[in-house]
Amino acid sequence: DIVMTQSPDSLAVSLGERATINCKSSQSVLYTSNNKNYLAWYQQKPGQPPKLLIYWASTRESGVPDRFSGSGSGTDFTLTISNLQAEDVAVYYCQQYYSSPPRTFGQGTKLEIK
């Protein structure tokens, strides 16, 4: 099974600043046949279910503010939140969908306001 490891486990960032969350997979999730990275990011606010933010490593889901961006390829990925807002406080998860199930998530990164 592909293991997803996020870093850091938690971080505190000032309002208006940039937050960076990393995700590393134990094997590449890049399909060379279509040049797509099979990686998604989710946001989970307290007391709420997860919400899809980004898929194919860098494509924002409809309605997601453009201050959220995803980057990376192969085994190393980054979720960047620019101009941090108070409503961005949440736990963020990466998830691979490269291989046959099981689907695996990272352990989560808790984002707080400094």
Partner 1 sequence: QVQLVESGGGVVQPGGSLRLSCEASGFTFSHYGMHWVRQAPGKGLEWVALVAYEGSNKYYVDSVKGRFTISRDNSRNMLYLQMNSLRAEDTAVYYCAKDWAELLFNYYYMDVWGKGTTVTVSS
- Which residues of this protein are in contact with partner 1, per CB under 8 A? 38, 40, 42, 44, 48-52, 55, 61, 91, 93, 95, 97, 100-108
User: Please, which residue, 75 or 95, has the CB nearer to partner 1?
Assistant: 95
User: Please, which residue, 98 or 113, has the CB nearer to partner 1?
Assistant: 98
> Considering only CA atoms, which of 43, 20, 12, 15 is closest in space to residue 108?
43
Tell me the closest approach of the beta carbon of residue 51 to partner 1, in angstroms. 7
Tell me the closest approach of the beta carbon of residue 103 to partner 1, in angstroms. 4
User: Please, which residue, 19 or 57, has the CB nearer to partner 1?
Assistant: 57
- Give one DSSP letter per residue of 69-88, joined into a string: EEEEETTEEEEEE-S--GGG
Cβ atoms of residues 79 and 90 within 8 Å: no
- Residue 8: cis peptide before it, omega within 30 degrees of 0: yes
